[in-house]
Structure 1
Amino acid sequence: MLIIIGSKNPAKINAVKNSFADQEAEFVSIDIPSGVNAQPFSDEETIQGAINRAVGALKQGNGDIAIGLEGGVHETSHGLLLCNWGALATRNMEPIIAGGARILLPEQVAERLKAGDELGPVMDEYSKMENVRKHEGAIGIFTNEMINRMDMFTHVTKLLVGQYCYRQNQLWR
């Protein structure tokens, strides 16, 4: 099975590989644009980014399955939440979607995002580290590394793969 990953981000690549660990699979990662704002600002936009990455990866990579993962933020009455979504695309069904962990961002970070900044660079500055988005992510910083970005996206990818397997089994009943 050829699985195309719609990103070159190591956290996303490893999340997908972790989710297919018990399968014989070959993985190819391709840098697929999300087709949404650099900083998605709603569940809808973040979902669309994940779908765009999955569908684009499937087309460009010509695999059996393609996975798109997208991080974003979502405004609520409680404040700005970190959100993350994934999509799984195949040639014979509509994309499957799944969402994952959510945490409230500190007001200091939220204000920067509302002013138009992107979370990745804000987190680098906030944490005084480099490439936070490729490693622990904001989720890792704000959970004291209890959950990192790869863990967060592994959870989402497992939700996608589980739904895919369920649907495949349903087709044969």
Structure 2
Amino acid sequence: MSFKRRENFQPSDKLLVLVGSKNPVKISCTEDAFTRAFNKSFLVEGINASSGVPEQPVGNRETLLGAKNRAFNSREIFPEANYWVGIEGGVDEDEKGMFAFAWIFIVDKMGKTSQSKTGTFYIPTAVASLVSEGMELGKADDSVFNKDNSKQQGGSVGILTHGVVDRTEYYRQAIILALIPFLNENLY
């Protein structure tokens, strides 16, 4: 188990949110989204949780399943949290080419769930070719753009927008949208 239980964690402390990944971008955007949405501070930690899908999910169904699995597997590993968040990036293709997106899946301590999807953007042909050959998108970006571990930084979206939209900003909005049922419990 890669998550260390905090001996001093008390119920009166900030609410605990577990992200089913150790990726610092996913952790920081989750913390920012929860803080903005609820207008209070949260303790947000990352935990290695299996997605149960290939390293590079393809299509909505597989990508959403990866996000769900990360959230539920995080809950299984550390059931004392208040929320569990799965974030899974995927790719798909249409007549225009290959595009990227991510699914967010959230579970609360009562078992209530919600989900949201990011916007999509098209991937350059050189990157798409590597992904089609089985390479994960972040590694393909690193190869084509001569970067190192870009998925733990601005990601593909950051590279392609020249930093105007980085991975943190890209995920943050979708996390806030996935929080709508938790912000409006009387309506959901």
Q: TM-score normalised to the size of structure 2?
A: 0.85
Distance in structure 1 (CA, Å) of the matches to 2:68 and 2:173? 17
Distance in structure 2 (CA, Å) of the matches to 1:38 and 1:138? 16
Aligned pairs (5 A) from 1:154-169: 154-166=172-184, 168-169=185-186
Structure 1: give runs of 5+ residues left out of the alignment.
none
Tell me the amino acid that sits aligned with residue 2 of structure 1. L
Aligned pairs (5 A) from 1:83-94: 83-94=101-112
Higher helix fraction (1 or 2):
1
Tell me the amino acid that sits aligned with residue 39 of structure 1. Q
Q: TM-score normalised to the size of structure 1?
A: 0.92
Distance in structure 2 (CA, Å) of the matches to 1:77 and 1:92? 42
**Which among 18, 29, 44 is matched to residue 4 of structure 1?**
18
* CA displacement, residues 42-98 of structure 1 (integer Å, 9 cap, x when unaligned): 111111100101111122122111111011101112111111110001243453110
| Paired position in structure 2 for 1:125 | 143
| Paired position in structure 1 for 2:8 | none
Q: Which moved more, 1:39-48 or 1:156-165?
A: 156-165
Tell me the amino acid that sits aligned with residue 127 of structure 2. V
Contact 1:109 1:122 in 2 (8 A): yes
Contact 2:71 2:105 in 1 (8 A): yes
- Does residue 46 in structure 1 map to residue 63 in structure 2? yes
- Does residue 97 in structure 1 map to residue 115 in structure 2? yes
| Paired position in structure 1 for 2:161 | 143
Moved over 3 A (4+): none
- Does residue 27 in structure 1 map to residue 44 in structure 2? yes
Distance in structure 2 (CA, Å) of the matches to 1:58 and 1:169? 24
Identity %: 27
